[in-house]
Structure 1
Amino acid sequence: MTMDTHAPLSRPDARADAPARPELLVLSGLSHSYGGVRALHDIDLTIGDNEFFALLGPSGCGKTTLLRSIAGFETPESGTIALDGVDLVSTPAHKRPVNMMFQSYALFPHLSVERNVAYGLEAEGLGKAEVKRRVGEAIETVGLGAFARRRPSQLSGGQRQRVALARAIVKRPRLLLLDEPLSALDRKVRADMQLELKRLQHEVGMTFVVVTHDQEEAMSMADRVAVLDAGRVEQLDTPVGLYSNPRTRFVAEFIGSSSLFDGTATAGGVDVAGLAELPAAHTLPVGSAVTLVVRPEDIEVVAPGGAGLLEGVVIDTYFLGGSSTVSVAVPGREKPVGCTVHATSTARRGDTVGLRIDHARSVVVADTRPVSHGGTESA
């Protein structure tokens, strides 16, 4: 697992690299390539029993390859996939105690809801009474009891997703894999289903592993999240830990919004060329290339002219209901600095303002990019 050699000082939020619950799935040294292109680089992960775990990252980061390897649809070049201590790499997909819910849901259009859900159990040769009982329980669990006789074409997108979930859980797998399960839903239905998935996972007492590129989806549902980039695990943590204590520049940029100040580590902070030396606590070597990560809620908009302040000109404000986002152009930076202000901001476009950074909440990470640094990056 790829980590910074020198981690930033932690905030009070607890990290969770290892599950507090008993381990269920252990991936060790997992690597895979496609035509000479490395998709997975020596992946090590441990997933706990009854855990909701997310694999998060941009397109092409390797998360779907990892999920398909666990399911048995891909055979990794090296490494082990142990479920309850038993290596599954040589076990075919249909013999693994694992079920997978595909992005397309893959429902049979000519079958009713209850027949779709019953299909896997009937294929196993279970008795009619047992199939009926388990199908009824699964359909009620996902809230579709009144729709049991309908066909997929008579259901909404959210209802079809529930049918796919019922079909996945009715076989009672030890592990349920979900590949971008909410991507086909509109924003409101997606938000409702995020809560529904979490409720369902608790209710059935099953381990869920979900693949997604949507950070809001991962952060709202998962107990822990593995952030992947270029086939490597950049960071494994709780949602709060990822946001509060990013350990690489990629994670800081990918998770949430932040202003990134690239510069050189000093004994008391980060020297940002063309701007200032910004104070921050860290343990990185003096003189090394680093990035100071500042979240928008940790920057206060104040009157200009005070000591220790950055100054800039307001270029826009966005009212978001309970808060406003103020965008400030700071001389020496290519991109504006974003600040979150509670309720309505009094700052107006064209105003010169001061920016006070809460240095106690800033995080410093190593900047491993093979480029020169000018303090101009912001995300």
Structure 2
Amino acid sequence: MSPAPLLRVEGVRAVYGDTVALHGVSLDIADNEFFALLGPSGCGKTTLLRSIAGFETPASGRIEVDGEDLLRMPPHKRPVNMMFQSYALFPHLSVERNIAYGLEADGVAKAEVRRRVGEVMDIVGLGPLAKRRPAQLSGGQRQRVALARAIVKRPRLLLLDEPLSALDRQVRSSMQLELKRLQHEVGLTFVVVTHDQEEAMSMADRIAVLREGRLEQLATPQELYANPASRFVASFIGTANLLDGVATADGVEVRGVGSVAATHALAPGLPATAVVRPEDVQLSTDAATAGLRGTVVDTYFLGGASTISVEVPGILAPILASVHGASRIARGDEVGVGFGRAAVVAAEPAAASVTDPAEPLAEPAAQGASA
């Protein structure tokens, strides 16, 4: 028998005027889990986070922590703390005073405040900066102060609203690893809201993908990537080639491509989409003997791998292939194209392909994520 979840969300519905922000969302979050709420702007992820924190009141549903109904508690009584996107640091207070503020407001004894503040500053590496003010800190250092202030009160649940969005790309990447390390070290349950699928994939134990106020899929990052539940999830998580066709007993029959084998099957005859990740596309320089041929329209070198964009007659969007290291294939080359085993999802009416030939592929690894 699995242990009871720390956080249980049951049938939460949120409404703003005529707009339904959440359509009866239900999910469980385990103790000590790093959990991500992921989706494009307007999907309802922040509304759900704010409902857990107590800053929004759902129209219906239940939210429980350790079996206790949070919706009956005012925000300041909930065993929850929230780290805001802006960090909301006090500019006139030092690092240690910013961290101590919540404990002092709760009337914690001075000796205990000093002990806990010193302990958490050591954990996040802020000890040498204790006397500095926020204006004297880098973006990454301010983020650590906000995190330290949130965890020093030892909440059962820590909520983080787009915690890394204000950081530049290099600092953001290092802080993703740091957040994961800190979560394990302090032993708290983290729930992070983000629209950045790469960020969620690198940090979270499980991810809830939301779309227009509904839970589209809840799974581990590996499961979301390998077995998306819908075309939307397939396009939002990582980069994917989406090939529309008709389901067969062992895959999808795609016009102009032929049969694409799949890891699982839908009922034969149903409209279906084969989801082929770039690393499962095989390119051959011997185009003359290949069954499917195309022309390279662009290449993108990303350090450890290159992404090759290939235009294939009869396929609307270019096919994206990933190859190790720097590729010798160049723009204008004729290549053969083959597909490994794909995931398969039910086709969605009027759905756009994740790869749009009108859009530049500045960062192929992040394609499919919406801002």
- When normalised by structure 2's length, the TM-score is 0.92
Q: Are 1:33 and 2:15 an aligned pair?
A: yes
Residues 242 and 276, structure 2, Cα contact 8 Å, conserved in 1: yes
The match for 2:190 is 208
- Shift of residue 21 of structure 1? 6.4
Aligned mate of 2:94, from 103, 112, 121: 112
Partner of 2:119: 137
The letter of the residue matching 2:179 is L
2:219 to 222, 229, 237: 237
- Give the aligned residue type for 1:371: A
The question of 1:304 aligning with 2:283 is answered: no
Contact 1:263 1:373 in 2 (8 A): no
Q: CA shift at 1:241, angstroms?
A: 1.1
Question: Superposed, which structure 2 residues align to 1:137-156 within 5 Å?
Answer: 137-156=119-138
Distance of 1:148 and 1:28 partners within structure 2: 42
CA distance in 2, matches of 1:129, 1:320: 51
Q: What are the ranges of 5 or more consecutive residues in structure 2 without an aligned counterpart?
A: 358-367
Structure 1 SS opposite 2:287: coil
Write out aligned runs for 1:167-206 (5 A): 167-206=149-188
Which letter maps to 1:310?
L
> Which residues in structure 2 correspond to 1:231-270 (within 5 Å)?
231-270=213-252
Residues 1:354 and 2:336 are matched in the alignment: yes
Contact kept, 8 Å, 2:251 with 2:265, in 1: the verdict is no
d(CA) in 2 for partners of 1:241 and 1:269?
A: 19
Deviation at 1:377, TM superposition (A): 7.5
**Alpha-carbon contact 1:53-1:209 (below 8 Å) kept:** yes
For 2:262 and 2:205, how far apart are their aligned partners in 1? Answer: 30
Q: 2 CA distance for matches of 1:319 and 1:107?
A: 40
| 1:371 and 2:347 aligned | no
Distance 1:220 1:143 in 2: 22
Q: CA 1:281 to 1:218, structure 2 compared with 1: closer, same or farther past 3 Å? A: closer
The answer to which structure, 1 or 2, has the higher relative contact order (CA under 8 A, 6+ apart) is 1
In structure 2, which of residues 245, 266, 269 is the aligned counterpart of residue 287 of structure 1? 269
Q: Distance in 2 between matches of 1:177 and 1:21?
A: 22
Q: Is residue 93 from structure 1 mapped to residue 78 from structure 2 by the alignment?
A: no
Paired with 1:210 and 1:278, the residues of 2 have a C-alpha distance of 37
Structure 1 position 269, deviation (Å):
2.5
Q: In the TM superposition, what is the alpha-carbon distance from 1:372 to its structure 2 partner?
A: 8.7
Amino acid at match of 2:287: P
* Structure 2: distance between partners of 1:75 and 1:102: 18
Deviations 1:272-327 (A, max 9, x none): 234433333533122211100000000110122446x4211111222222221111
The answer to whether the aligner puts 1:223 opposite 2:233 as a matched pair is no
Looking at structure 1, the residues matched to 87 and 356 of structure 2 have their Cα atoms a distance apart, in angstroms, of: 40
Whichever residue aligns with residue 109 of structure 1, its letter is P
2:248 and 2:265 in contact (8 A); partners too:
no
Note if contact 2:139-2:166 (Cα within 8 Å) is conserved in structure 1: yes
The alignment partner of 1:89 has SS state of helix
Helix, strand or coil at the partner of 2:72: coil
**TM-score (ref. length: structure 1):** 0.90
Check whether the contact 2:11–2:62 (CA below 8 A) recurs between aligned residues.
Answer: yes
Give how far 1:365 is off: 0.4
Q: Which consecutive residues of structure 1, in runs of 5 or more, have no partner in the other structure?
A: 1-17
Deviation track 1:336-361 (CA, whole Å, cap 9, x = no partner) reads 000011123222222221111112xx
